[in-house]
Each structure stands twice: as C-alpha cells, then as structure tokens.
Structure 1
Amino acid sequence: MYGFDYHRPGSVADAAALLAKTEDAKLLAGGQTLIPTLKQRLAQPSDLVDLGRIPELKGIREEAGGLTIGAMTTHAEVASSPVVAGVIPALAQLAGLIGDRQVRSRGTLGGSICNNDPAADYPAGLVGLGATVRTSRREIAAEDFFTGMFETALEPDEIVVAVHFPKPDRAGYAKFRNPASRYAMVGVFVAQRGAEVRVAVTGAGPSVFRAGAMEDALAKGFDPAALDGATVDADGLNGDIHASAEYRAHLVGVMAKRAVAACG
C-alpha cells in the first residue's frame, strides 16, 4: 500500500471541499473494492476521504411515493429494513443476495453504484426501478448515471448523497451467481409501474442495460411464458472463464422468467 493522507469530514460540504482542493483524492465508503485495490498497489491516491461519519449520507425513509436511501446505507441495512420490505420487497431481496454477511455489513449502496462493477447487483435495481441518483450537485436518472464498465456520470468532485426509488406495482429480481465471488454472472430485475415494464440486466454486459424485447413482451402479458422467444443478442456480452457470451445470453432469459415469477 502506498502512503496517503487520511481525512474524516463531518459533512458532505466538507468532503466536497476536500475533493476539490486535493490533486488525486479518493472517496472511501464501505471499502470493499478500494481497500483491496490499495493493498495490491493498484491505485495510488494522494488522499482518502472517509464518508463514514457523515450522518446525512445514511438512512432509509419513505418519500414521494417511494423510498429514499442514503448513499452510506449498508447492504445489510437495506436487506433487513422493514421499510424497504414494505415498500419495495424486491429491493430488500436484491440487497440480501449481495456477497456474504461480511460484505453486506460493510458495503454501501453509494459505494456499489459509484464503482459500477459490471457484475454488481444494485445497478439492475436502480435501472429496473427507474431510480434517481441524488448528488451533492444535481439529480441523475439511473440510466444516465451508469455510462460504462466501472464508469459513471459523476464529476471528479461530485458525491452521491442518496438514491430515490419510485414504488413499483410489482417487482422481482433473480440472479445466477458465481459460487466463489457471489457476483452476478447474470442478474435480471423486472418491474412494472402502470403501463411501463422495465427489465434491467447486470452481469451479462460491460454495464447494466435494459432488455427491450423482453419489456415489450411483458407489456403485452406479464407472465413468465410471455418471454418465450424474447431474447438478447450475445454479440457484445461478456465472455470469460466462467461463462461464454452465448451462455450469458441464455441465462438472461432464464433469470428474467424467474424474476417475473418472483414479482409480488
């Protein structure tokens, strides 16, 4: 690990000021990706800005017909929250499937979406629910927030404060996970709100994406059988030692049907 200066600000404003005045600072949320990266000397930030003591970044509340969850809220808190279970139970289920107990106890919603790992679960939840990312400067629609593999629309000194999730009429999530890492080889989040149906896929491509053909099929009949014949193209999907692009394309269909069946 390389040397760095450590900061523990007490407010979002102080954290943003530290980012603005330092040359190559990194934000520390749960540290599930950043700390191992530092230990392996794969990154050399000049400063670490720890967000762990900022009260305004934490908490879960019902708001504006949905849920607002603070960026520093852990996966375990989302998974066990009676508020989340009561408003969007599929989101609680998604959080409960992330990693293992240790990861869920330390990892945070904001840290996960800002890292934008192509196999992370939360991006599918955000895009599938049509969520809005609230930052220290603005609000960003989830589909505009995730821009590519490990890339987001955030500016260098911009901080995610919270995420707002509209309440769906029904939603479900299913994933085929790597047995070692528990990351999603393919994860599919399905949600219906009024006449709109969203199908968001993680793990299969370089970044989360919507499966338009499946959305059209479910809009005509919200049933797993409606997805017969609705597929995604393997071209451009991820292929590695765990699964080929073609196998991932097949898994999208399987997981989509399971997600629809899980919708409450």
Structure 2
Amino acid sequence: ACRILGLHLQELEDWNCCGSSSAYSVDPELGFNLSTRNLSLAPPDRPLLVMCPRCLHHLRHAHLDMQQDPRLRRAQERRWGRPISPDLEIMHFLEALVRFGLDRLQKGSVRGLNGLKFVPYYGCTLYRPPALHRQKYYQAEMENILTALGAKPVRGAFNNRCCGSFLSAVRPEAVTPLVNEIIGSAVSAGADCLVTSCAMCQLNLEVRCTAANKLPIFHFSEILALALGAQDYEGWFTRHLVDPRPLLEDRGLLGLPPPLPTVP
C-alpha cells in the first residue's frame, strides 16, 4: 500500500520488541527500557511510524515520561549511549494516512469499496490512556479513510471493547465470551465485516469466536491495499479462518484491473 502511494518507509535498524503486555506485567522497568532503546535508535528529524497499537502505547508512554522528567531521559541516554530526542514525533499508520490526505487516497483508489459495511474495531489500546492526548481522534481516522475509499462505517457495535489480548493464550475460556459479544454486536448492527487496527485483535476475533454467525475480520492494511489495487491478495485471504473472499466477490472487489500509477 505504501509503495502504491509513493510513501517511502525506512525500517528502524536493530529494533527490539517493546515487551508488549508481558514484560510490563512481570518487570515494568524492563518494559520501559525496551521502549527507550527503540526511541534511542529513532532518527530525530523524521516521524517514527508504528503499526501496532501496543507498541505505539509503550513508545508514547516512555517518551512522555522522559519529556516530563529530563533526568530520566538523560539516564536512558547514558544507558544506550545515544541521544533521545524529546521532540520525536511518534505516530500510528492511520495518522500518517490522514496527513497524507483523503483526497489523494481517493485518487489512488482502484477498487472502490462499493459500500462495504464495516465496523471500525479500534480495540482498547490505540487511543488510550487520556494522558497521551489521543482520545480526541478516537472513532475518526479509520472511518474517514475507509469512507474516502468507498466503504460505509456501521455504528452501534462494540468497537472499543477489549478482545482479551494475550489472555487468549492462558485463559481462552475467558476470551471467547468477550469476542462473541463483539462479533454479535457487529452482526446485529448489520455489518459485513470488522476492520481492526491491531493484528492481535484480528487473531483473537477470528480464533476465539464460537458464535453461529461469524463475520470476516480484516486488518486495516489488507483493505487499504485491496482498495489501492494490490494484486497479491489471494495469499492474504487464504490465511483467514473466516474466508472473506465470498463477501469480496459479492461486492465485486476481486479480480479487477491492475493499479493506477503511483499517487503524485
């Protein structure tokens, strides 16, 4: 999708896992240090683009802590032997697309999403907690982007309920009711599918659902790439537990011509 849009991304060299929920639960200091190491590797003159909501949460939290306590930042700089910019911009991929421009996204769209009715499932992490000052954007970015590409957001579903996260690995019986409620609310609202911003949410919503009426679950990047004309979608969709291809074929979203030239 980024290649089609002409966005040039450079992977952060020698990055490490942020620790996710596990490290912070067992050893908060370790989790904090994992995040500050990544921040020390980030070039100060360009945004740090993050796809995973949990990574985004930990990176922003660590950065905010160091902004509020310069001594803490200096201690981490000594730990890693590198400066950490207090002005580093850390943004989610959705924010980058909004900044790119909805009009430009529309111009780059090859497959209009033909009124595909979707629940924008943000989950519980992306725009929380309030201290990170992201709540004002809640329930806006994904809807705006996919609406610009021709889809139709569905209201009334549980789009910010926790999916159970990594509890799914140790207490799946506790996660299944959460997932069934989320899926059930989307079905009741008349949705064709759910679109997530989080790969962990996508996994749980597919793996742990035992409801009779199931819906396809897409990661946001899949729908974006499909709308922009990507041709290698068969490889993605065969990995889904709920096959999305019948829905997409019904909407005329598969097998269309190759993409238009890169968006200027």
TM-score (norm 2): 0.24
Of structures 1 and 2, the larger Rg is shown by 2
* Structure whose residues are more often strand by fraction: 1
* Structure whose residues are more often helix by fraction: 2
TM-score (norm 1): 0.24
